[in-house]
Structure 1
Amino acid sequence: MVEISPRSAHVFPETPEVAHFNGADIDEARLLLNRFYYPVAVGLPEDVAGFQLGVGVIQLGPLTVGQLSFTSPVTLLVAELDAYHITMPTLGHLHARHAGREVFAGPSTGVIFGPGSPVYTSREANSVELAVKVERKALEEELSGLLGHPIEGPLRLPPEVDLSTGPGYSWRRLIRMLCDELEYESSLFYEPLIAEQLRCTVLSGLLLALPHRYHDELTGPVSAGPPRALRRVVDAIQHEPERPFTVTELARVANMSVRSLQEGFRRHLGQAPMSYLQQVRLGRAHEDLRRADPARVTVAAVAHRWGFAHLGRFASAYRGRFGETPSETLRSSG
C-alpha cells in the first residue's frame, strides 16, 4: 500500500510531498516510480523467488530524493530521461548503461545520468540505493543564479562520482540525512520554509561537488556586489521579511550572482544575507510580542508569522538577541 501525504498546510508553491511503500505488487511499485521519478519498465529474472520493493521518497518541487530497497535482482529501464539523476548504492552493486557509457557502482561510487538518453540499470538482490532526481531547468537555473548570468547548453556532468571522500562524500551525507528524516512526522524538513532552503542547498551542493563546464568559474575568485545593489536586497528584506526568500531570489533582486551577494554582505554588513534576514525577522517578532495581548496571541503564532518554522530554534535565537525568552516578552506586554 502506498502512503502519500503533503506534510504542511502552509500556502507554499512547493509543499513537500512524501510517500512510503513496502510491498510485492510490481504494478503498484511501477506506478509509484512513475509518479515520483519516470515511466519505468521493471524487469525480474525468470527464476526469481519473490519481489519486494521498499521506498521512502520526498518531493521538494523539482527535487525528488528517495531510498529504494530491492529484495531480488531487478532491472529498471527508462526510455528517455528528462532530468538529471544520481543513483548512489548504499548496499550491493549497480550496473548502469547510459549515453554510450557503462558504469559499475558500489557504496563508494555514484552514477550520474543526464537528460536526453535512455537509462538501463540492474542491481543485485538485497540492494539499497539513494535516488536523486533534479529537473533539468531547476538545476541549470540554480547554476545561473550562482554565477549571475545565463548558461548555455548541457552541463556535461561526469558519468560517475567518488562518494568515499571530498565533496561527493559530503553531498551524499546530506542526502542520507534527508532520507533518514522521512520517518519522523515532526521533521523540520516538512516545513515549507525549511524545505525550500534544503532544496537550494542540495542543488548548489551538487553543482559544487561535481565537475562540469562551469565548475572553475563557480569556485573561482569572486568580487563583492556594489553597495547600491545590496541596498535593494536590504530594502526587499525590510519590506517583506516574512517572505520565504532564498539566497538565489535575493541575488536576483540585486541582479548579481549569489557569490557576489554573499561577499558584498560579508564586506559591507558583516554577515550573510540569510543571517541578516533572520535578524530582521527576530526584530519584527520582538515588536509584535511587546505589543501583543497574551490572552489572545501565542508565541507560536508570532514565530510562524515571521517565517520561523521551529519554535525551539526561534526561542534560542530570540534569547541570544534580546536576553529573554519570547514567552517572557509576551507576558511582560500584558
Structure 2
Amino acid sequence: MTRTKFNPGLDQQPTIHRDPEPARGADHAAAPPLSVSRTRLSTSDPDELAPALARLCPGVTLRPLKGTAFRCELGIATVGPVSFVTTDWTLGGRMDAATLHDRYVLGLAGEGSRDTEVEVRRQRLSMAHGKRAILLVPEWPVKIQIPAGGSGRSLTVLRSALEAHFAMLTGHAPPEAILFEPDLDLTGGGGATLQGIARLLREELERPALSPFVRSQFCDVLLTALVTIPRHAGSHLLELAPPRVAPAVVRRAEEYIAMHAGEAVTLADVVAAAGAPARSLQAAFRAARGVTPMGFLKIRRLELARQMLLAALPETTVADVAGAMGFRSAGRFSVDYRKHFRESPSETLSRRRPTGRRRGGAR
C-alpha cells in the first residue's frame, strides 16, 4: 500500500522529550462507525414524556404550567455521545432537575419561540432564538419555565465523552467538571460559531444516507467546539503552547492513518495510536507534513479513491466512490480531487483499467 511522504527530512528534527505515555500503536482499532437512533413522541400526558427525557437527563421532572393542560412533541436523534433534542410545547410546561447527572446541555430556543426562562444556581437567565443560549453542567440544579408555544432545539453530550475529548486535546484531565459560564451570547463570535456547528450536525443527521465517516467527523468537530470555544476552568490548558514530540510520534500517526483510511477514523483514534496529546500531534504534523493529521487522512482517502476509480467496474460512478470514501458530496469530492491530482475524478474514471468483467458478467 503506497502513501505520500511530504517531508523526507523528518528524522533530522530534534527530539524535545520522550512520548508522554506508551502508544497503542498502528494496530489500534478505529472506533466502530456511529449509528443514529431516533425517538419521536407526541403526547398530552407528562408521565408518557418523562421516561424519554429521563434517558437524556436522569432526575428531570416535568409538569404542566399551573392552571393549564399539557401538550408536547418531542424528537431525539442520538449519534454516539451526542443527542439532539427538538421540543415543541403547545401549552408550555416546566422542567426541574436537581442535577443533570452525566450530561452537559447546550439549550437553544427554537425559531419563532417566545423567550424561555431558566434558573441555574439561583441565577435567572433566558433562552432567545438566535440571541441567547444556556450551557448547563452536570452538577448544576436547573429550572426551566417554558411558555405556551415555546420550542427548543438543544443538544446533550455525555460527560465522559466531553471530558475525554478535553484530555485527548490537551493530555490533561480537566481540573474539575468543565464549568462553563451558563449564559452564552449567540449574536457573534464563538457563540455564533458553536450554534452554527450544532445546527449543521443536526441537519446532516436528518440526511438518510449520511456516511458513517461524516457522522464521526462532525461529532469530533462538535466536541472540539464545545471544549475550545466557551470559557471554562480548563481553558488555560488549551492556550498553552503544546509540548513538542518526537518524530516517531508523527510516523506512528501516519502509519495508523495509512492502515485505517478506509474506516471511520477520528482524531481520537489517531491520537490513541500515536501516543501524544492532539494539540502536540497536530503541531508536529503541520511542521513535518504541512497538514494536520485529519488533513493527511483526507489526502490518503483521495489516493484510495483514485485507486478505486482506476479499478472501477463499468457501472461505478464518481458518487459511488465519493460516498465509499466518506466525502459529504460528490461535488466537494470532485473539487478536492482535481486540486490534488490535477484532473477530475470523471477523467480518472474514463481511464479505468480492465478488471476482467464485462456488463452482464461475461468474460
User: Given the two structures, how large is their TM-score scaled by the length of structure 1?
Assistant: 0.83
Of structures 1 and 2, the one with the larger relative CO (CA 8 A, separation 6+) is 2
Cα separation, 2, equivalents of 1:151 and 1:162: 24
Shift of 1:152: 4.1
Cα separation, 2, equivalents of 1:273 and 1:178: 22
The alpha-carbon distance between structure 1 residues 86 and 304, as it changes in their structure 2 partners (threshold 3 A), is closer
Structure 1 stretch displaced more, 145-154 or 305-314: 305-314
Matched-pair contact (CA < 8 Å) for 1:194–1:309: yes
Cα separation, 1, equivalents of 2:204 and 2:255: 36
Shift of 1:167: 0.8
Establish whether residue 253 from structure 1 lines up as the match of residue 273 from structure 2.
yes
Cα separation, 1, equivalents of 2:314 and 2:341: 19
Matched-pair contact (CA < 8 Å) for 1:303–1:314: yes
The alpha-carbon distance between structure 1 residues 166 and 76, as it changes in their structure 2 partners (threshold 3 A), is same
Q: Which amino acid aligns with 2:262?
A: E
The equivalent residue for 1:96 is 118
The equivalent residue for 1:44 is 64
Shift of 1:201: 1.1
Counterparts of residues 220-235 of structure 1 (less than 5 Å): 220-235=240-255
State which structure, 1 or 2, has the greater radius of gyration over its C-alpha atoms. Answer: 2
Matched-pair contact (CA < 8 Å) for 1:103–1:111: no
Aligned-residue CA RMSD in angstroms? 2.7
Matched-pair contact (CA < 8 Å) for 1:224–1:267: no
- Deviations along 1:221-278, one digit per CA (max 9) or x if unpaired, are 3354432211111111122211222123212222222222222122111112111111
Question: Gapped runs of 5+ residues in structure 2?
Answer: 1-30, 355-363
- Deviations along 1:128-163, one digit per CA (max 9) or x if unpaired, are 222221111101000001102333432222232222
Matched-pair contact (CA < 8 Å) for 1:294–1:330: no
**Helix, strand or coil at the partner of 1:196:** helix
Match of 2:179 among 151, 156, 163: 156
Q: Which amino acid aligns with 1:193?
A: F
Cα separation, 1, equivalents of 2:152 and 2:313: 52
Q: Which amino acid aligns with 2:174?
A: I
The alpha-carbon distance between structure 1 residues 28 and 280, as it changes in their structure 2 partners (threshold 3 A), is same
How many residue pairs get matched? 318
Establish whether residue 262 from structure 1 lines up as the match of residue 282 from structure 2.
yes
**Helix, strand or coil at the partner of 1:86:** strand
Match of 1:72 among 91, 103, 106: 91
Give the % identical residues: 27
Counterparts of residues 177-326 of structure 1 (less than 5 Å): 177-181=200-204, 183-186=206-209, 190-294=210-314, 299-300=318-319, 302-308=321-327, 310-326=329-345
Shift of 1:79: 4.7
